[in-house]
Amino acid sequence: MKLLKKHEAAIKRVHDDSWDFSGANTKYCTHGMHTYPAMMIPQIAKRLIDEYGNDAEVMLDPFMGTGTSLVEAKIHHNFKYAYGVDINPLARLVAKVKTYPISIEKLEHSFRELRNNIDNEKLEIHFQGKKIEKPSFFNINFWFKPEVIEDLAIIKKYIWELQNTDIKDFYKVCFSETVRNVSNTRNREFKLYKMNEKQLEKHNPNTIQEFYKQVQKNLISMKDLIANDKNAKIKILNEDSRYKLSVPDDSVDLILTSPPYGDSLTTVAYGQFSRLSLQWLGFDYKEEVRDIDKICLGGIKTRSLEHTTKSPTLDLIINQIAEYDNNRAKDVLSFYEDLFKCILEFKRVMKKNGILCFVVGNRTVKRINIPTDVIMVELFQSSGNYEHIKTIIRNIPSKRMPKANSPTNVKGTTVTTMNHEYIVILQIK
């Protein structure tokens, strides 16, 4: 423990409440278009760009999620390009729509048509007994009531008839959020848990109205994007940040990102969160949906505790966890080994003197707090000439993420894992 404190003390960390942004509106522009786990708050992305990326022309977010940092790059004055990478197809769809201005006139026109088609079809089903073809996928009847399935099928049918891909994508995002809101899942949770009988009895959503509500909300967001767009070109990559990315060598001025907190299976299950939406959106379950959590960082356990990454803090932590549970130590190690692969790739794409900003959370495993911010600095410094500018510690007022988890995987026993976030800022020399 003493040794760990020594490693932590060697890193420049400053508590700074001015990064809390308590009570700030985090849904402006297109930021409120679709929920996603562990979203970065836009105020952090904006301030990091203002303070560290004012002359930057090229930005990369290698774990973009639904693109908070890309939206900020799009509405900031100086960026020519911003690349966003994510292995989750739902994240890529939402990030695209959030950063892709579409004419409001065209959207309003298509919405009028869509509405007419949906309302007419509903009437024909109701009064003339018309049949609608319903999708069938694994467990659909478990997660959706029959009347909800019918309404989602009608909405989907008419979105899929639209010819313009960008307009279609806009509605797919509205549809995806609707799917979440009308499903039988317990609301406001990212993992898939079904409502109990009592909750299910009261759960009679008006699916079509919910969809219209999403469209109207997102139309306002789109107007905001158009009004503030500074024209950066956004490139969304369906790639894995552990491997070589389609980003040229020495081209990136600023990396701004919030990586996962740990392996998806035991921290934030991005795949599970996205599953119902992706199934309704027609993604192939086996090929594109089922294994998302496995292909996220740390998804595959390492075979042994031998490793080549050079972080003394990581060594200490792995040994401590292994004393309680060898398997959990392997889970933890696999995450940092994957992160290290990404760090090597970042080195290839960064311009000299470029800045890297990582918003990370320090999770707890087996009651042992893992100082990811410290480990990251050590991993970067072991891989190249990086100056650690500083690490800012902020309080998390309201971020949607697990604040408590089970320390021993015993149901009902929880410890607080994350009340702070660490913004690690480095410069490559």
Ligand X SMILES: C[S@@+](CC[C@H](N)C(=O)[O-])C[C@H]1O[C@@H](n2cnc3c(N)ncnc32)[C@H](O)[C@@H]1O
Q: Could you give the CA distance from residue 269 to residue 175 in angstroms, rounded to a whole number?
A: 21
3-state secondary structure 67-122: CHHHHHHHCCCCCCEEEEECCCHHHHHHHHHHCCCCCHHHHHHHHHHHHHHHHHHH
Q: Which is nearer to ligand X, 329 or 339 (CB)?
A: 339
Q: Could you give the CA distance from residue 43 to residue 47 in angstroms, rounded to a whole number?
A: 6
Query: What's at 273, amino acid-wise?
Result: F
Return the range that interacts with ligand X (CB under 6 A); candidates 64-72, 120-128, 181-189, 310-318.
Answer: 64-72
Q: Could you give the CA distance from residue 139 to residue 142 in angstroms, rounded to a whole number?
A: 5
Instruction: Please state the length of the chain.
Output: 429
Does residue 266 interact with ligand X by CB under 6 A? no
- How many C-beta atoms surround the C-beta of residue 32 within 10 A? 17
Q: Which is nearer to ligand X, 66 or 279 (CB)?
A: 66
Does residue 218 interact with ligand X by CB under 6 A? no
Contact 421, 378 (CB under 8 A): no
Nearest one of 394, 308, 317, 373 to 8, comparing CA atoms:
373
Q: Which is nearer to ligand X, 65 or 354 (CB)?
A: 65
Minimum Å gap between C-beta 127 and ligand X is 43
Does residue 190 interact with ligand X by CB under 6 A? no
Among 172, 242, 330, 394, indicate the residue that binds ligand X (CB under 6 A): 242
Among 53, 84, 260, 262, indicate the residue that binds ligand X (CB under 6 A): 260
Q: Which residue is nearest to ligand X (CB)?
A: 65
Minimum Å gap between C-beta 85 and ligand X is 5
Query: How many H-runs (helices) and E-runs (strands) does the chain carry?
Result: 15, 12
Burial 344-380 (b: 16+ CB within 10 A, else e): ebbbebbbeebbbbbbbbbbbbbebebbbbbbbbbbb
Query: What's at 322, amino acid-wise?
Result: A
Minimum Å gap between C-beta 39 and ligand X is 4
Return the range that interacts with ligand X (CB under 6 A); candidates 114-122, 166-174, 239-247, 300-308.
Answer: 239-247
Instruction: Supply 144's token pair.
Output: 């959706």
Among 4, 39, 256, 428, indicate the residue that binds ligand X (CB under 6 A): 39
Task: Find the DSSP H helices in 184-246.
Answer: 197-202, 207-228
Report helix, strand or coil for 177: helix
Does residue 65 interact with ligand X by CB under 6 A? yes
Minimum Å gap between C-beta 210 and ligand X is 22
Which 268-287 residues touch ligand X, going by CB under 6 A? 270
Return the range that interacts with ligand X (CB under 6 A); candidates 63-71, 119-127, 135-143, 371-379.
Answer: 63-71
Among 66, 221, 391, 417, indicate the residue that binds ligand X (CB under 6 A): 66
Does residue 293 interact with ligand X by CB under 6 A? no
Return the range that interacts with ligand X (CB under 6 A); candidates 13-21, 80-88, 310-318, 329-337.
Answer: 80-88
| Pairing state between β 386-395 and 420-428 | antiparallel
Does residue 388 interact with ligand X by CB under 6 A? no
Q: Which is nearer to ligand X, 194 or 348 (CB)?
A: 348
Return the range that interacts with ligand X (CB under 6 A); candidates 176-184, 207-215, 216-224, 255-263.
Answer: 255-263
Q: Could you give the CA distance from residue 384 to residue 291 in angstroms, rounded to a whole number?
A: 33
Instruction: Supply 320's token pair.
Output: 């401590």
Size of the site for ligand X (CB under 6 A): 23
Which 85-124 residues touch ligand X, going by CB under 6 A? 85-88, 91
Q: Which is nearer to ligand X, 85 or 167 (CB)?
A: 85
Q: Which is nearer to ligand X, 87 or 173 (CB)?
A: 87
Among 178, 214, 221, 241, indicate the residue that binds ligand X (CB under 6 A): 241
Q: Could you give the CA distance from residue 83 to residue 98 in angstroms, rounded to a whole number?
A: 14
Minimum Å gap between C-beta 28 and ligand X is 14
Residues that bind ligand X (CB under 6 A): 36, 38-40, 63-66, 68, 85-88, 91, 240-242, 258-260, 270, 296-297
